[in-house]
Amino acid sequence: MSEVISFFLFVASIVVYTWKAGRHTWWFISTIVVLIVFVLLNIVLYASNYFTGEGINDAVLYTLTSSLTGAGIHKYILPGIALVALLVGLFFGLSWLLRRRKYAPHHRGYSLLALILALASVDASPAFRQLSELVKSQSRQGDPDFAVYYKEPNKTIPSPHLNLVYIYGESLERTYFDNEAFPGLTPELGALKQDAIDFSKTGQLPGMDYTIAGMVASQCGIPLFAPFEGNSSASMSTFFPQNICLGDILKNSGYENYFMQGANLRFAGKDVFLKSHGFDYLYGSEELKQRVSDPAYKNDWGYYDDTVLDEVWQQFVTLSSQNKRFALFTLTVDTHHPDGFISRSCTRRSYKIDGKANQSFSAVTCSQQHIAALIEKIKASPWFKNTVIVVSSDHLAMKNTAWPYLNKQDRENLFFIIRGDKPTQQLVSVKRNPMDNGATVLDILGGDNYLGLGRSSLSGQSLSSLFLNMKDKILAWKPDVIRLWNFPTHIDTFNIDKGKNTISFSGSTFRLPLLLRVSDKKIEPLPESEYSAPLRYQLADFAPRDNFIWVDTCYKMARLWLPELALSSDLCVAQGQLGGQQQVQAVNTQAWQGKAHFPDTVIDMARYRQNIDKLKIVDNDIRYKADSFIFNVAGAPEEVKSFTGISRPEAWGRWSNANISPEVKIEYTRPLPAHFDVVIKAKAYGPNINQPIPVRVGDQEQVLTVGDTPVTTTLRFDNPGNSSTLTITPPAPQESNMDNILGHSPRKLGVGLISVEIVPLS
């Protein structure tokens, strides 16, 4: 009903403005902005519902404010283009409608009415209501009984003797195993489930309905609710830092914890979560490139399940044969919505329903075959008797091509356990939820039978059985869960660890580089990632009196406020106000302590504008005073007019990048001397190592030959043609992701430049 009302108000606003309001620039802009907001909200609602089937929820906001590195977007490109085209068309259509009666006299009353109707349409829209409720849910007080039911287990297992293999099946819910509804869909894995401890009533709750949330719920016994401002996984180097999770207990008990998946680990902050809670060995799409037999065999999200599960088996054999105590977790991807992927090694490649092949069901029947094959190999191995195998869905399937068929059934998550030490066939039909999974595993391994809000389904009572409406209870506890992030509200002193590349204050730890906006009651961390602007551009958006602390490479800030460090690639801390005083300090020890200091000074607007202008200078336009071109800082010496063909600065220098230009070209402001030496400190990459690299000035050419470690070479030139350009041409640039920024396209590397100096000769 609210959708109809909001749409009626939207149309009424257009009609009133078009036929009665007349033409007036301010009222036109105000009205069309609100109407476009209405359209945008509904597009966001439509897109969110396309993925979740539930509109705008915590999963949407968390995913959008976290890292999107490695997201499989190819199947969404065309729908995305269509939405953008629709938005552009609606904008021009609305503009045309609202400006039709341009010769009619302006009427303030009707203009005001049209604007009120437009605002009312936004307020009545389901999208606005959903967003408002999400924001309100973060600011409530919480439920006082949270502390009663949240139980922290012992940090160790007294006498660990079983290894653990934990398999998360992407969207592989228990509903798929209903042989009456979907005959012959899961024969191999279904047969293994029949011979296991099978938990048949694992429901789904808020904060557990997407992959990272399902992992957090099953390993930490809490739903994943995160603060919207300064999203923790994007800026913090720890993930729920106060919680004891399954991985922590395993590590404290002598386990080596491994995690393997085909997708990128950065997506949704999965790497931060796992590293924060006991996992030292992580393998995703980037890490597996060096291990898999066919690195090019990938789907939109990463490596296929047959590839990943083969690596899991190899790792299981290696660790078992070395008599290691280990926990080996893996996550499949082939059953990912909207329709999944079919690996090439499947014998089950298609599944028909209603007489037609369905891609989602086909992906399920294929993927379950790979999971079953892995389990059968483990069961046949001599190490099975010391192994516990867990198979679990990460969450219920999101909106996919199997969705209409799934929703006709009573949907439950998959969770079953195969014990090598005590083979058991048992159906456990108690009401439970994914938070109970970790506690149940911990119980089997010899630890406590509780973990956060989770309880072992073998020796405890799930909170889902205790409360009549567990969903409402979880939502009531949402503010309490958010407080577990320990998100800071003040800063006095702070500690920088150069080895770990982190800054810590008020009990929280963040990754560097980092920019903090500091006020009396709030601290806003602004990280630098593959999707955000560099921190100096973010700082340029600060108001003149905004307090800031900026921890980054010295040269980025020192050229503004401490010129003697303008060529330093070490860490520095800048703090102050853009319109007031600024202080820059070098981080000169491995463990360095600083103090937040914001003196109350008079704001100088001329100084503020000067700082903004300098912060906004693009890297290649920065100029510094130096005798040579120093490549590990941004910009170039004052004598350089322009340059191209080189990548971003790194700690040691810069690589040439043939994707920008096949040659490195440095053009100086004046002609180079008649006689001079070029002193080049450089190294080479791949096939360019120890190969002749042409260096030219005008029509003269010398040859540079370098290995894979830096060396300094002097080349002598005459310059009869008064050329002002030096070019370096790597003979065989090679595409590589080495030291690349995650999410960025591969570079074509050739020569690594550390410095270039022009030395005139008499």
Residue range 170-178: mean pLDDT, rounded: 97
The domains of the chain are located at: 2-139, 163-444+479-483, 493-617, 623-760
Confidence bin at 230 (pLDDT 50/70/90): very low
Q: What is the pLDDT of residue 528?
A: 76
Residue range 481-492: mean pLDDT, rounded: 86
Phi, psi for residue 155 in degrees, rounded to 5: -80, -5
Structure tokens at 374: 């892995």
Provide DSSP, 65-94: HS--TT---GGGHHHHHHHHHHHHHHHHHH
Terminal CA-CA length for the chain: 87
pLDDT of residue 229 exceeding 80, the answer is no
Q: What is the pLDDT of residue 39?
A: 80
Reported as half-sphere exposure (CB side, CA atoms, 13 A), residue 639 has a value of 17
Burial class of residue 520 (count of CB atoms within 10 Å of its CB; 0-12, 13-18, 19+): exposed
Q: What is the 3-state secondary structure (H, E, C) of 363-405?
A: HHHHHHHHHHHHHHHHHHCCCHHHEEEEEEECCCCCCCCCHHH
Q: What is the pLDDT of residue 399?
A: 86
pLDDT of residue 53 exceeding 60, the answer is yes
Confidence bin at 595 (pLDDT 50/70/90): very high
Question: How does pLDDT run across 210-223, given as a tens digit for each residue?
Answer: 999 999 999 999 99
pLDDT of residue 355 exceeding 50, the answer is yes
Q: What is the pLDDT of residue 51?
A: 67
- Of all helices (H) and strands (E), which one includes residue 111? helix 108-124
Provide DSSP, 485-524: T---S--SEEEEETTTTEEEETTEEEESSEEEEE-SS-EE
Structure tokens at 623: 């100029």
Q: What is the pLDDT of residue 123?
A: 84
Look over the chain and give the mean of its residue pLDDT values, rounded to a whole number.
Answer: 88
Q: What is the pLDDT of residue 232?
A: 44
pLDDT of residue 529 exceeding 70, the answer is no
Confidence bin at 458 (pLDDT 50/70/90): very high
> Which residues, at least 6 apart from 458, have a Cβ–Cβ distance to it below 8 Å?
197, 428, 440, 443, 444, 449
Question: How does pLDDT run across 612-654, given as a tens digit for each residue?
Answer: 999 999 989 999 999 999 999 999 999 999 999 999 999 899 9
Q: What is the pLDDT of residue 228?
A: 64
pLDDT of residue 33 exceeding 90, the answer is no
Choose which CATH entry (2.40.50.200, 2.60.40.10, 2.60.120.430, 3.40.50.300) describes domain 623-760: 2.60.120.430
**Across 522-600, where does the E strand assignment appear?**
523-527, 547-553, 571-577, 582-586, 591-595
Question: How does pLDDT run across 277-330, given as a tens digit for each residue?
Answer: 999 999 999 899 889 999 999 998 899 999 999 999 999 999 999 999 999 999
Tell me which amino acid residue 342 is: I
- The C-alpha angle with vertex 34 and arms to 31 and 35, in degrees rounded to 5, equals 85
Q: What is the pLDDT of residue 100?
A: 58
Q: What is the pLDDT of residue 93?
A: 62
Cα distance between residue 757 and residue 677, in whole Å: 8
Report the range of poorest mean pLDDT among 82-96, 384-398, 647-661, 698-712: 82-96
> Which residues, at least 6 apart from 55, have a Cβ–Cβ distance to it below 8 Å?
45, 48, 49, 126, 127, 130
Q: What is the DSSP letter of 152?
A: P
Question: How does pLDDT run across 531-575, given as a tens digit for each residue?
Answer: 567 899 999 999 999 999 999 999 999 889 999 998 998 999 999
Q: What is the pLDDT of residue 125?
A: 83
Question: How does pLDDT run across 57-73, given as a tens digit for each residue?
Answer: 776 667 666 655 555 45
pLDDT of residue 510 exceeding 70, the answer is yes
Cα distance between residue 45 and residue 39, in whole Å: 10
Question: How does pLDDT run across 42-52, given as a tens digit for each residue?
Answer: 877 777 776 66
Q: Does domain 163-444+479-483 correspond to CATH entry 3.40.50.850?
A: no
Q: What is the pLDDT of residue 231?
A: 43
pLDDT of residue 530 exceeding 90, the answer is no
Residue range 100-118: mean pLDDT, rounded: 69
Beta strand 571-577 with 582-586 is antiparallel
Report cis status (omega within 30 of 0) of the bond before 105: no
Torsion over CA of 15, 20, 23 and 29, rounded to 10 degrees? -40
Structure tokens at 33: 């902005």
Coil, strand or helix: which one is 110? helix
Q: What is the pLDDT of residue 584?
A: 95
Do the domains 623-760 and 163-444+479-483 match in fold? no
